[in-house]
Structure 1
Amino acid sequence: MTQKIEGSLPAAATLRTGTVAGKISSAGADRSGAASAIEASDSLRLTGEATGLQTLQKELSSAPAIDQGRVQAVRDALQNGSYQINPDAIASRMIDMDQQLAG
């Protein structure tokens, strides 16, 4: 099977530049009226879920990346020897992560 590659685009695919509602405007012409008419017809309506996600994103972006209270609690537990390591929980989470990465 072969396909012929031609150097020109079909008539339907040609690009029309500088036209608004069938009128061609010159390079120096004022186009603000046409642009505002196009922008005025655009609208955006968010669903309740999208609004909730937007609120959550704002909350998370303002929250600190590190919980300093938790870091200090772990530091104190390590220093006084009361930090408990649960090897079964660590192994289980490593296996879960491996399965998620494997797909």
Structure 2
Amino acid sequence: MKHTIAQREKGGRYVFLVKVATSEEWWPGEKADHIAFIRGRIPFDLPAWFSPANKRQEVTTASFGIAVMIFDKTWTGSPISYLSRDVLLNREWN
């Protein structure tokens, strides 16, 4: 995120899909121009290449809070918004 913030100052524009982790050190907070929190957890399937290290390693899929972060110093919209997971998952993308 440090690189993104530095490049934003130079005019760079970035969009990230991130795990909501507001207490972690990397979380940019107010340095992001817009954060869209997605209401509802989004599961992620295990990648096809994943292989457990041993039989004791539990295989599960991740499911956690997600947000879309926009870094764009020309952003004129609100700093925070909310999206519905169900609307996103049921939308037909062209």
Into which bin does the TM-score normalised by the smaller protein fall? under 0.3
TM-score by length of 1: 0.18
Higher strand share: 2
TM-score by length of 2: 0.19
Q: Larger Rg: 1 or 2?
A: 1
Larger RCO, structures 1/2 (Cα 8 Å, 6+ apart)? 2
